[in-house]
């Protein structure tokens, strides 16, 4: 499975949206250099309040651009505006299992840890968007569509146009859960 990077984004502060850049640097075990979520321990404010010593399983946030197309009838959303670091095309990120490796660009490797749990901040950005990125499956289980989270296994520079190669973990696959 091969996809592509559409945009890369970061924010030094805990802002909802992130600025699009020409490139970002992923650092092994830390995340996106210069981003508010950069570090070994969790940086997400609600998680820090619970336990600041938790490992940072949310170093890199990825969203598939196909979500923006799905939302386009009701919402205009551009890359970086939902807080993601890497916007992709051509890979159904939400269907990948936990521990999938994404080989991004020349050398970066991101290991998927789970799903982003969308919160009320999404509605502060665009009213009604939270409901639009949540769904129910046939069994009535909550489906989160606001992207996936990962950790940096190998660092490197990532830029728009870079390819993304997917390597699935050994079976049995473990479904992505909220992190």
Q: What is the pLDDT along the chain (179 residues), one digit of tens a residue?
A: 799 999 999 999 999 999 999 999 999 999 999 999 999 998 877 777 788 889 999 999 999 999 999 999 999 999 999 999 999 999 999 999 999 999 999 999 999 999 998 888 899 999 999 999 999 989 999 999 999 999 999 999 999 999 999 999 999 999 999 99
The residues, any chain, with a CB within 8 Å of residue 122's CB and separated by 6 or more, are: 16, 82, 129, 130, 133, 146
- As a whole number of angstroms, the distance between CA 160 and CA 71 comes to 22
pTM as predicted: 0.96
Are 95 and 67 contacting, i.e. CB atoms less than 8 angstroms apart? no
pLDDT value at residue 118 = 87
- Delineate the domains of the chain, giving CATH numbers in brackets: 2-167 (2.40.33.20)
Are 78 and 84 contacting, i.e. CB atoms less than 8 angstroms apart? no
- 128-136 long-range contacts, CB within 8 A, separation 24+: 128/74, 128/75, 129/71, 129/75, 129/77, 132/71, 132/74, 132/75, 133/67, 133/71
What is the DSSP-derived secondary structure letter of residue 146? S
Smallest Cα–Cα separation from 99: which of 31, 22, 159, 151?
151
Return the residue matching tokens 């870079």. 162
Torsion of CA 83, 40, 168, 137, to 10 degrees: -50
Q: Is 89 exposed, middle or buried (0-12, 13-18, 19+ CB in 10 A)?
A: middle
What number of residues does the chain have?
Answer: 179
pLDDT value at residue 65 = 98
Q: Cite the DSSP H helix spans in the chain.
A: 45-50, 66-71, 121-125, 129-132
């Amino acid at each position: 499975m091969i996809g592509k990077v559409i945009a890369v984004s970061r924010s030094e502060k805990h802002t909802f949206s992130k600025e699009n850049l020409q490139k970002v640097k992923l650092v092994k075990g830390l995340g996106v250099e210069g981003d508010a979520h950069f570090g070994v321990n969790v940086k997400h404010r609600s998680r820090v309040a619970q336990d600041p010593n938790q490992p940072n399983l949310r170093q890199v946030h990825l969203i598939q651009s196909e979500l923006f197309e799905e939302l386009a009838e009701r919402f205009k959303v551009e890359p970086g505006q939902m807080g993601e670091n890497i916007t992709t095309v051509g890979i159904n990120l939400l269907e990948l299992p936990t521990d999938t490796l994404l080989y991004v660009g020349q050398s970066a490797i991101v290991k998927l840890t789970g799903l982003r749990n969308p919160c009320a901040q999404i509605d502060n950005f665009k009213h009604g968007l939270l409901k639009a990125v949540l769904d129910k499956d046939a069994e009535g289980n909550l489906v989160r569509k606001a992207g996936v989270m990962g950790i940096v296994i190998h660092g490197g520079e990532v830029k728009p146009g870079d390819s993304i190669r997917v390597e699935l973990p050994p079976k049995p696959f473990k479904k992505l859960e909220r992190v």
